[in-house]
Every structure is written in C-alpha cells, then in structure tokens.
Structure 1
Amino acid sequence: MTELEMINPLYLPDTLVEELANKLDERDISMRLSGLADALLYPYGQELQNSV
C-alpha cells in the first residue's frame, strides 16, 4: 500500500487509505495471527495435557 501511495497518491481515495491503514496495523495483524494460532491448536490442547 505504501508503494502504491508513493507511485500515485491519488489512486486510492483517502477514506480507503485510512481504512486499510487501520486494518493493516501491526498490532491488529499480530492479534489476528495469535487468534488463528489459538484456533488451530485448540483441538490439540487436550492431547498435550494428556501426554504430560
């Protein structure tokens, strides 16, 4: 997105740029990844507890 803004800043409307910047924030992305990892590993939690 930043490269697109550097090449042609008028290509995307300002409202869309703001919305994308909010959705692509590093904190939000890391929270999404953490949630996906939790969802992926949740079924294995019981197996891990049983093996200990």
Structure 2
Amino acid sequence: MELYLKAQLACSAGMIQRQAAKHFNISRDSVAKAITGSSRLDRSFCCALR
C-alpha cells in the first residue's frame, strides 16, 4: 500500500502516470486507481480507521 501512496504523491508532484508506473514497477491502471483513491485497499483501510 505504501507503494501506491508514493505513486500518488509522485503524480501530484508532476510525474506523468505512465512514468510513475514504470518507476514503481506497477501497472498504469494501479497508478490511476491510486490517484483516484478507488482501490479496494484504500476503501478497506479508510473503513478500518473509522
């Protein structure tokens, strides 16, 4: 999960999604999900915090 947060931060700092996917060795779809926060991991993690 930490990897997805790093990809999210990299994209918010100006890195292109495709570059982030290649840099962190994850799929472009995973980077897109990390940016939108729509992955299952994010939702389950947020629900656990409540």
- Give yes or no for TM over 0.5: no
Greater CA radius of gyration, 1 or 2? 1
TM-score, normalised relative to structure 1: 0.31
Query: Could you say which structure has the greater relative contact order, defined with CA pairs below 8 angstroms and 6 or more residues apart?
Result: 2
TM-score, normalised relative to structure 2: 0.32
